[in-house]
Structure 1
Amino acid sequence: MTEPTVTLSSSSLLSKWGFNDGDTPESWLDWCETQGIDYNALEFPLVALVRKHLAPAIEQTIEVTEIGTSHNPIRALTVDGVDVTEVWFGRAPAPNLTPDAVDVPMTEVLRLALEEAGLSEAPRHQGPSLR
């Protein structure tokens, strides 16, 4: 049996609404639920996942930037040296990024979430889930 994963789409780096508009993926919430992990006590580590897994996998030369927003918080600033900020809003054609996506195992997502929270083990539900 293969381990469940979170899929990070390369095209999400080119959109204000990418990575599910910056929202936590349902697959992560569901996995935490099945593991008894209190996902409300952990931040989904989207920026770390992109920096450590997606950006290095992209075949084009990209520069990413973090944005303080309620939308997608990490985007490509340049692709092969060309500014792509107008692409974020659909005002310019998007370059093709390859590969299309990367899959990151849930255990690695958890490891990064714990690292960011400064925890050595996952917080557990104390009672029934509120989901």
Structure 2
Amino acid sequence: MTGATEPYLTLDSGGLLSKWGFNDGDPPDVWLDYCAAHGIDDTEVAFPLVELVRTFLLPRIEQTVTVVEIGTAHNPIRVDTVDGVDVTEVWFGRAPAPLLTPDEVDVPMTEVLRLALAKAG
């Protein structure tokens, strides 16, 4: 007998290295589906991408990174240095991407919702 598992969101480390990372900054389908299934208006409770990255992904990155938040219609949070090396050219595909580990981090959707509700006030 298999128990039900909680749905989760996967944050890919490589999303930190691209202008188009993290679904180009748009809410992922898994979040929209979760909201629909739980009667949550996703236009009233915004997807908390920056908060998720800062809370769950960055603490797990094994390299020394610095990040920048960018007011843009694209990915709003990116790594600008990895182990002291500027990687901003990587954002646009003009330089090879360094390896960030771990490759990904899974976040339970209840935690995504918790951060979204906190952000919404």
Specify if TM > 0.5.
yes
Partner in structure 2 of residue 102 of structure 1 = 105
For 1:22, the equivalent position in structure 2 comes to 25
After TM superposition, the structure 1 = structure 2 runs for residues 30-49 of structure 1, keeping only pairs within 5 Å, are 30-49=33-52
Which secondary structure state, in structure 2, belongs to the residue aligned with residue 92 of structure 1?
A: coil
TM-score, normalised via structure 2 length = 0.95
TM-score normalised to structure 1 length:
0.88
Provide the C-alpha distance between the structure 1 equivalents of 2:25 and 2:106, rounded to a whole number of angstroms.
17
Q: Give the unaligned 5+ runs of structure 2.
A: none
| Aligned residue among 9, 12, 15 for 1:9 | 12
Q: Distance in 1 between matches of 2:55 and 2:84?
A: 21
* Alpha-carbon distance, 1:37 to partner: 1.1
The question of 1:57 aligning with 2:60 is answered: yes
The structural deviation recorded for 1:40 is 1.3
RMSD, aligned CA: 0.6
The code of the aligned residue for 2:79 comes to: A
Runs ≥4 residues deviating over 3 A: none
Alignment of 1:85 onto 2:88: yes
**Tell me, which stretches of 5 or more residues in structure 1 are unaligned?**
119-131
Number of residue pairs the alignment of both structures matches: 118
